[in-house]
Structure 1
Amino acid sequence: MALWTMILRKMAKNKWLQLNLWFGLTVCVALFSSMPLYSEAILQRTLIKELERIQSQSGAYPGFVRISTSVSASKMDEKTRAAIVRADQYVQRIPQRMGLEALSVYRQRFTQRMKVYGADATGQEKQSQKTAGGFKALSDAEKRVRLIDGRMPEVREDGIFEALVTQKFLISAKRKLTEELIAESPEGERFRVIPVGIIDTDPAADPYLPFLTTEVPDGFLIPFAQFEKEFTLGGKARVSDLEWRLALNYNQLTVDHVEAFMQASKEIKRYFRGRLGVDEINIPAGETVSSYAGKQEKLDVMMLSLYAPVMLMLAFYLYMAANLVIDRQKTEIAVLRSRGASRLQIMASFTAESLLLGGGALAVGPFLGVTFTKLLGASNGFLSFVQRSALEVTLTSTAYKVAALAVAGAILLILIPAFMATRVTIVGHKQQMARLTKMSFWHKTGLDLVLVGIAVYLLYNFNNRQEDLKRLALDQGALQVDPLLFLMPALFALGGGMLVLRVYPWLIRLLFRAGRGIWPPALYSTLIQISRSSGQYLTIKVFLVMTVATGLFSANAARTINDNMESKIRYNVGADMALTTRWESDAPAPVYAGGAQQAQTDLGIAETRRTQYTEPPFQPFRELKGVEAAARVFKKEARFTAGSEKVSGAATLLGIDTAEFGRTAWMKNGLLEYPINSYLNVIAPNPKAVLISRSLAEEAKVAPGDPIRLAWDGLDQAQFTVYGIVDYWPSWNPLPAGGEGEADNAAIPHLVVGHLTAIQNRLAVEPYEVWLKLRDGVSSQQIYDQLAANKLSVTSLRDARAELVTSKNDPFRLAINGVMTLGFVISMLISFFGFLLFWLLNLSGRTLQYGVLRAMGIPFPQIIGMLVSEQFLTSGAAVLIGVIIGNATSELFVPLFEISFATTEQVPPFAVVYRLRDYVQLYGIVGFTLTVGLLILGYRLSRTRIAQALKLGEE
């Protein structure tokens, strides 16, 4: 009990230090616990959204399961009946196997097809009658169909079947309702049937599994129990087909149960394969769900690598705070050791103290992790947030396990300074206080050189790997980022910062000696203080260097990834929206019968006859509300002949109206030698003027002013004149298809850009694309609605904005933007608290010094000048070094993210992006931290009384 009393008193005495330490532990726990929470929550939301997209695109309910099988047995023997019963029982357990609630289930049974005719039909009518249909049964039919005439059937004892039929089937049988029909099986068995009701689809009967009468073969729908009795068990006619349909609650499907869902799907297919006959299994969500297998593990690794720089900074923060706590207690520890206390006893007290802090962090941290997770879900870019639907986050046992491991690791880190302090006696402690210039452990062991060496070695390997990928044309996924891409910069920033700080004290000494006789007293005293006590500033300087360097790298990396992905989408589409419409033509209808095809050949119709098209009105697209500009863009694979050697080949021909195209198309700056509008202005006056790609110019040895002839199948070549050469053009990919080497000239794409009117007049009028540029604030849905309202027949559409939204909602991209933003904010926050903590303790430890200086007659403004100069030479210098290291880290490691993009599809080419706004934000936050810190320190210094300082020194 005495030990706990001492621990609590000691913690109360250093309450502000303990609170800072607890804050660092809590943030550490929150970060670690948010990793599994985020990966599970974001994948869950993405999974559900992709399943919902299935319904919007195909109309199929995402939880739909359809099992259909034929019955190969020629007659309903005991073995077949038992197999059907077992199949029914197996289907009943499918929801349990998949772990999803069954919202709706129904079964269908079908007999073989039979000839149907009226009971009073004559022999001639029987012979001419072509109507066929079998008996069928639907579970809970009375709840699933809409009765439009007659009544529901009843089971009769006189051998006559009452049935429901569709209007189409009744008309085909040429009989009226309640008139008796005969169904004759291929074996000659005859069944008397009376249609008593006409049915149709009732969509409102079941929102999940509507029974569509048009989806099943026509026949007689009889009560399910009667079908089972007469056919399945009675064997009066052969049961030919069985079907089960289920609607499962897909909203209950979690990422954790993806494996169970996939396993159940495989078992369903395996169970029905050949068991009764030919089976057909339809699970629309299967492919989407299977794509999530293993995705959570990959995202967890990604999150860990993204958090690596933040974790390093947190480790520094915890180590610095713990070191400051221990520094204030070193005298007490040394006294305890001199009075017989063992190291084990002292460490036990510090361990108990750390466990109390860790327990408090574990109680609050996971809930803060939930907040972090929701913040990650709202990220739309680096330091950008949107009103996206909040992630559904629930604390799990996994999150608490990860949080507990984080606390354990942090406690071990905190105990390191305490363990080092217990090795020092009271004499050794006094000696250490007098020798603050000794080299740090990091520099003694050469840790800075080791870290820089590891980072450079990994960088060398990555560069070699990237060159191999380009040479072999191996494609990566859309965005598969290697975790080392985030760990390497953190190691380099840490090692590089410590390496520069190894040299920095010598620079201070050189500066001191250079102006020894001219420095004012405040700066003179500061230079002496820093040069003699460089070791005590090392931790805060490394901390600030890491914060600034990783902040800059995070900003540049996030901007680069986002900008390159968005540029790729916009460039490939060419404008905000690109669509094609249906054109009227004289093209013959597709012919499938050999005889008809032969007839056309006999008539002498040429198979290569060119189709004549009628151009639809273009004005309606210009008049769409919200459309700023519209352009016609004709695309066609054409043949060219050019150059003195008459080189010929294939090229993509683009026909445009220069004015329309210039107002509508999107083009990234810097891809062309001159702005794209300059090229458009060059060819605008001459209808025969064209632009060609550099690949075509080099292959055909063509220069501006040379002629080029163009045509495609069925046309005579027309001559045009080259007016310019371009490397890129909106929507055109200059990279070889399949990534083949440049030596293979046939695989290198070529481009010709000309006037649409000239192409139509001199070659042919054929369908073109319509490109739209939307006004700011106009949604794509508004355009879709207008296209439908104006009955503009759209055959294909690409929406750059929709693709950008899909790209931004990718779990891995959300993780990058969210974690980098969160990491940047947390880094700035802990750097602010770390800065204040260090300097407040440093100020309180030097109260005597400042009191003596005041007593010697140095005015207060000069004391403040000493404090400001000390801040600039330590914290300010650390920030400047951090900027230098951050820029160097960005230059070296941000280009490596090119390996994360498809090497043969990244157009425009990968480019490192820097934003002045990010630098301004970073400098603003750091400047705010330093300013607030100086104001607080100045205020504390102004409240210091000289008499109290001198009295403290005497004691």
Structure 2
Amino acid sequence: MALWTMILRKMANNKWLQLNLWLGLTVCVALFSSMPLYSEAILQRTLIKELQQVQQQSGVYPGYVRIATSVSSSKMDEKTIQAIAKADRFAATIPNRAGLAAMSYYQQRFTQKMKVYGADADEQERQYQKTAGSFKSLSDMEKRVKLVEGRMPVDRQDGLFEALVTQKFLFAAKRGLGEELVLESPEADRRTFRVIPVGIIETDPAADPYLPYLTGETEDSFLIPFEQFEREFVMGGKARLTLLEWRFALNYEQLALDKIEPFTQAGTDIKRYFRGRLGVEEVNMPAIETVASYQGKQEKLDLMMLSLYAPVMLMLAFYLYMTANLIIERQKTEISVLRSRGASRLQIMTAYVIESVTLGIAALAAGPFLGVWFTGALGASNGFLEFVQRSALDVSLTSTAYKIAAITVGGAILLILIPAFLATKVTIVGHKQQMARLSQTSFWHKAGVDLVLVGLSLYLLYNFNRRQEDLKRLALDSDALQLDPLLFLMPAIFALGGGLLVLRVYPWLIRLVYLAGRRWWSPALYSSLVQISRSSGQYLTIKVFLIMTVATGLFSANAARTINDNMESKIRYAIGADIALVTKWESDAPPPLSTEAMPQAGGGSESQTEARRVQYTEPPFHTFEQLDGVESVAKVFRKTDARFSAGASGTSGKTELMGIDTMAFGSTAWMKGGLLSYPINSYLNLIAPDPKAVLISRSLADKAKLKPGDPIRVNWDGLDQTQLTVYGIIDYWPSWNPLPAAAGDGDNGNAALPHLVVGHLGTIQNRLAVEPYEVWLKLAPGASSQLVYDQLEERKVPVTSLRDATQELIRSVNDPFRMAINGVMTLGFVISMLICFFGFLLFWLLTLSGRSLQYGVLRAMGLPFRQMIGMLVSEQLLTSGAAVVIGVFIGNATSELFVPLFEMSFATADQVPPFEITYQLSDYLQLYGIVGSMLAIGLLVLGYKLSRTRIAQALRLGEE
């Protein structure tokens, strides 16, 4: 009990320190617990949205499952009957296998098709009647069909079948409702069945919104009661069965991430069970591919979030260590006294363990709930420091989140106990010696930790960049690079090592400043320079902390801006304009031949005919020029399989040929600045006066040894070559990818580079051929894509393909991985600044209270309060201010070196424009504003604290 009393008193005496430590622990717990919460919530929402999109595109309920199998047996023997019964029992287990509730279910059975004619038909009518139909049964028939005329059939025992039919089938049978028909089996026995159509049916969508029975799927059948079909054909074997079918509508909204594996496994089990059991099987689950693509996504997203969180977590760990160290520094005298009076290290550590566990339990109680709030912030992020009103993520605390939170608390407790463990080794004499040696070199610098951290991070970065270059050269996908996730920890390690490296030489710079002007410095500045130069170890922690915070914040800001900018640039460049579409062109092309009609190989040259050139009719273009909301329109002809011939050696090969109208293209196309040696309009103006002028890609110029002024000949299959003149050489062009697309086609095992020729559309059409081109649209400011879509639909413009940059950007922003990047970076920046403020204020308040005697002596000596404030300000600027400046430089260096790591998030072959680091002035202004406000508030608090310090009290404290 005495131990608990001592612990509670000690915590009460250091309540502000304990509160800061608890805050750091809680934020750590919240960050770690938010990772599984976010990945599960965002992937769950994205999965449901993608399944809904499947329904919009295909018109099929996402939980739709159809199983069909033929019946290969010609006779209904006991083995076949048992196999059908087993198949029915297996089908009934499908909802449980998939882990989803069945919203709706029905099954169908079909006999073979038989000849249909009227019972009163004469011999001639029977001979010429071509109508065929089959018997069919449907479970819950009464609830699923809409009776248009007549009545529902009944199960008769007199050998007569009553059936429901469609109006179309009844017309084909040339009989009316209630007139008897005969079905004649095609088997050798020519068995006949008597049928009376008693009702006409059609589809009833209202009967089942999830799984409507569509009468149009099998119109040539007689629908009889299910029990009668089972008795007469399944058990009785009176006609051959050809098809069995089961259909389900499973509740896809219950498809949580933990049910993905059972769902995909159910699909595999269904195919495995029905394969060859009764006949040829067919399994249709439209959602299976979408659901299967999510397998492993949560692990990847968790790994990526851990990588993104790494710098913030390292900074938080440093904050916890700094806070714990400040608490222990304040209590070292007490610890040393206890040690000197006989207390063992175990007893002292037991007290600190109990204290830390108490704080840990409090953090564990609040942290996961704060993690839920963090998850909501991540889900609402639309960009860096940008939030939108999305529907809230469905987040619920899980056992996984609490397990991770508990592990986090355990690790954090071990971290904050390190200073206490080290302090228990020191006696009262050793403590006094340490206090007198504040200027000694820190452990970090003695051990060369700064050099090791910087060297390690640069070495790993070098290896990564070298492998990335190999990927580009060989045109391999970024998945081929086996990337260590700890590589994302390198920015934080580099920032820490760089900060320690700069701080290794910083005290010497302060001493040089002191020596250079010691005759002229004011008393306040003189005192600050002496204090900082002699007690550099005292300020090391806060300076490293500020450097880490500022560098981490800048790295987060620059990384998020870079990723967003590059993804947006990639989409806009690939499309070339706001909207790129192709319309249907009328032509004299013959319809495609069937496989049977195609000439057989080896048939001789006589069977080969020369391909005839297809003549196209250009649709009216003025329709697009008259669209509301469209600022400019351009025709862009692209021929990907054109050929070129050029150079003295007659170099030839494949190239992409692009035909444009220079003025319209310059007004419509999107091009990122800096990709070309000159603005794109300069190149367009260069070729505009000469109809034969072309621009060629650098890859083509290097291959054919061409330069401006040289001729080049182009054509494509079936056309004569036309000669053009090279006017310029380009590296990039809207919508053209200069990166190799496939490996192994070039020299030395490198991938072959694509080529491009850009010329005048009019010249290409006049000298070569008129073929379909793309229409590029640039929208007016404020205009929406939907406005264009509505007008195209209203004017009945037949669009065969369309790419919309705005819609693709929206899909990109809603991608869970990009949302995670923006959310984590935003959250990391905000947390960095928040923790920086608390850490800064905590350190300086403790430093000020620890130097009360010094300030009391200075005041007693007659130093004015104004100069005391000046001394405080100069000390702040030379420590905290310098640390912020160093942090900015290290943050920029870290961004330059390590932001390109995020290039692996993009497919290497599609990374056009090249990955480029983006800086935004507003991020720096926000950072400077936050840090400036922090310093200003800190100085006000410290000044107020200093003004309340009484000289006599400080001197009495010193005497004690």
TM-score normalised to the size of structure 1? 0.96
Once residues 505 and 597 of structure 1 are traced to their aligned partners in structure 2, the CA distance between those partners, rounded to angstroms, is 87
Is this contact kept in 1: 2:744–2:751, CA < 8 A?
Answer: no
Equivalent positions of 1:689-700 (< 5 A) are: 689-700=693-704
Q: 1: distance between equivalents of 2:583 and 2:316?
A: 57
Alpha-carbon distance, 1:244 to partner: 0.4
**Match of residue 195 from structure 2:** 193
Give 1:607 deviation, angstroms.
Answer: 4.5
Is residue 436–residue 535 contact of structure 1 (8 Å, CA) maintained in 2?
yes
User: For the residues of structure 2 that align with 1:136 and 1:307, how far apart are their CA atoms?
Assistant: 61
Q: 1:491-514, CA deviations, whole angstroms, 9 ceiling, x for partnerless residues?
A: 111112112212222222222222
Q: Take 2:608 and 2:450, find their aligned partners in 1: how far apart are those partners?
A: 81
Alignment correspondent of 1:60: 60
Change over 3 Å in CA distance of 1:80–1:867 after alignment to 2: same
Distance 1:593 1:394 in 2: 56
Partner residue of 1:819 out of 824, 828, 842: 824
**Residue number in structure 1 paired with 2:152:** 152
Give the residue type in structure 2 aligned to 1:856: M
Q: Which SS does the other structure have where 1:951 is aligned?
A: helix
Task: Give the AA of the match of 2:73.
Answer: A
Quote the Cα distance in structure 2 between the aligned partners of 1:250 and 1:594: 42
Match of 1:951 in 2: 956
Q: How does 1:362-441 map to 2 (within 5 A)?
A: 362-441=364-443
Q: Which amino acid aligns with 1:287?
A: E
Q: Which residue of 2 aligns with 1:762?
A: 767
Aligned partners of 2:42, 2:581: CA distance in 1, in Å? 32
Q: How do 1:306-325 and structure 2 match up within 5 A?
A: 306-325=308-327
Q: How does 1:415-814 map to 2 (within 5 A)?
A: 415-477=417-479, 483-592=485-594, 607-636=610-639, 637-740=641-744, 742-743=746-747, 747-814=752-819
Moved more, 641-650 or 819-828: 641-650
Deviation at 1:181, TM superposition (A): 0.5
Deviation string 1:759-796 (CA, Å, 9 cap, x unpaired) is 22333222111111123443333332332222111101
> Post-superposition shift, 1:18?
0.9
Deviation at 1:157, TM superposition (A): 2.6
Q: Distance in 1 between matches of 2:932 and 2:341?
A: 47
CA, structure 1 residues 74+741, in 2 after alignment: closer, same or farther (shift >3 Å)?
Answer: closer
Equivalent-residue separation in structure 1 for 2:308 and 2:595 (angstroms): 61
Compared CA separation, residues 603 and 774, structure 1 to 2 (3 A) = farther
Letter in 1 for 2:180: E
Determine the C-alpha separation between the residues in 2 that align with 1:433 and 1:415: 21
Residue 71 (str. 1) matches residue 75 (str. 2) = no
Alpha-carbon distance change, 256 to 596 in structure 1, aligned in 2, over 3 angstroms? closer
Q: Structure 1: how far apart are the matches of 2:847 and 2:573?
A: 56
Matched, 1:932 2:934: no
Offset from partner CA, 1:791-838 (integer Å, 9 cap, x none): 111101112222222222222222222112111110111011000000
Structure-2 separation of matches of 1:419 and 1:351: 10
C-alpha distance in 2 between matches for 1:659 and 1:453: 53
Tell me the CA shift for residue 710 of structure 1: 3.0
Q: Is the 8 A contact 2:741 2:751 kept in 1?
A: no
Higher mean C-alpha deviation, range 422-431 or range 910-919: 910-919
Please say if residues 485 and 893 of structure 1, whose CA atoms lie closer than 8 Å, have aligned partners that are also in contact: no
Rounded to whole Å, the distance in 2 between the matches of 1:899 and 1:227 is 61
For the Cα contact (< 8 Å) 1:560–1:911, is it kept in 2?
Answer: yes
CA contact (8 A) 1:572 1:731 kept: yes
Per the TM alignment, residue 893 of structure 1 is displaced from its structure 2 partner at its CA by 2.0
Report the alpha carbon displacement of residue 645 of structure 1 after superposing the two structures with TM.
4.3
Q: Counterparts of 1:165-180 in structure 2 under 5 Å?
A: 165-180=165-180
Stretch moving more, 58-67 or 379-388: 379-388
Letter in 1 for 2:555: F
Letter in 1 for 2:914: P
Q: 1:480, 1:900 within 8 Å by CA — same for their partners in 2?
A: no
Corresponding position: 1:141 with 2:145: no
CA–CA distance in structure 2, aligned partners of residues 557 and 746 of structure 1: 30
- In structure 1, C-alpha distance between the alignment counterparts of 2:231 and 2:34, rounded to whole Å: 59
> Which residue does 1:876 correspond to in 2?
881
CA gap of 1:927–1:381, structure 2 versus 1, over 3 A, is: same
CA distance in 2 between counterparts of 1:841 and 1:605 reads 94
User: Structure 1 stretches of 5 or more lacking a match?
Assistant: none
* Residue in 1 that maps onto 2:304: 302
Q: Which residue pairs with 1:120 in the alignment?
A: 120
Task: Say whether the 8 Å CA contact 1:479–1:900 is kept in structure 2.
Answer: no
| Distance verdict in 2 for CA 1:478–1:53, change over 3 Å | farther
1:252-271 deviations in whole A, cap 9, x for unaligned? 11111211112222111111
Secondary structure in 2 matching 1:214: helix
Q: 1:483 to 1:743 in 2, by over 3 A?
A: same
Q: CA deviation at 1:332?
A: 1.8
Distance 1:414 1:699, change over 3 A: closer
Q: CA deviation at 1:603?
A: 14
Q: CA deviation at 1:852?
A: 1.6
Shift of 1:953: 2.6
Contact 1:591 1:597 survives alignment (8 Å): no
* Alignment correspondent of 1:846: 851
Change beyond 3 A, Cα 1:121–1:557: same
Partner of residue 162, structure 2: 162
Q: Secondary structure at the match of 1:854?
A: helix
Bigger shift: residues 864-873 or 199-208: 199-208
Partner secondary structure for residue 857 of structure 1: coil
Task: Name the counterpart of 1:906.
Answer: 911
Larger mean Cα displacement after TM superposition, 329-338 or 659-668: 329-338
Asked whether the 8 Å contact 1:478–1:900 carries over to 2, the reply is: no
Residues 647-673 of structure 1: CA deviation (Å, up to 9, x unaligned): 433322211111211111111111111
Length, aligned pairs only: 953
Q: Secondary structure at the match of 1:241?
A: strand
Query: How far apart are the structure 2 equivalents of 1:367 and 1:479?
Result: 37
CA distance in 2, matches of 1:327, 1:696: 69
1:632, 1:928 → 2: CA distance?
54
Q: Distance in 1 between matches of 2:231 and 2:532?
A: 99
Letter in 2 for 1:575: A
How many Å apart are 1:74 and its aligned residue?
Answer: 1.6
Q: Distance in 2 between matches of 1:595 and 1:797?
A: 33
Aligned CA distance change for structure 1 residues 53 and 657 (closer, same or farther; 3 Å): same
Identify the residue that residue 941 of structure 1 maps to in structure 2: 946
* Mapped partners of 2:138, 2:182: distance in 1: 21
Q: Which residue of 1 aligns with 2:218?
A: 216
Cα deviations by residue, 1:672-693 (Å, 9 ceiling, x for unpaired):
1110111112222333322222
Distance in 2 between residues matched to 1:50 and 1:482, nearest whole Å: 30
Checking the alignment, whether the CA contact within 8 Å between 1:481 and 1:900 is kept in structure 2 is no
Range moving further from structure 2, 789-798 or 441-450: 441-450
- Please tell me the root mean square deviation across aligned C-alpha atoms, in Å: 2.3
Match of 1:256 in 2: 258
Query: Amino acid of the residue matched to residue 437 of structure 1?
Result: S
SS in 1 for 2:908: coil
User: 2 CA distance for matches of 1:311 and 1:426?
Assistant: 35
Give the Å deviation of 1:724.
Answer: 2.0
8 Å CA contact 1:343–1:422 kept in 2: the answer is yes
Change (3 A) 1:808 1:284: same
1:47 aligns with 2:52: no
Task: Give distance in 2, aligned partners of 1:166 and 1:933.
Answer: 84
Three-state SS of the structure 1 residue aligned to 2:170 is helix
Is the contact made by 1:478 and 1:901 (CA closer than 8 Å) also made in structure 2?
no
Is 1:832 the equivalent of 2:834?
no
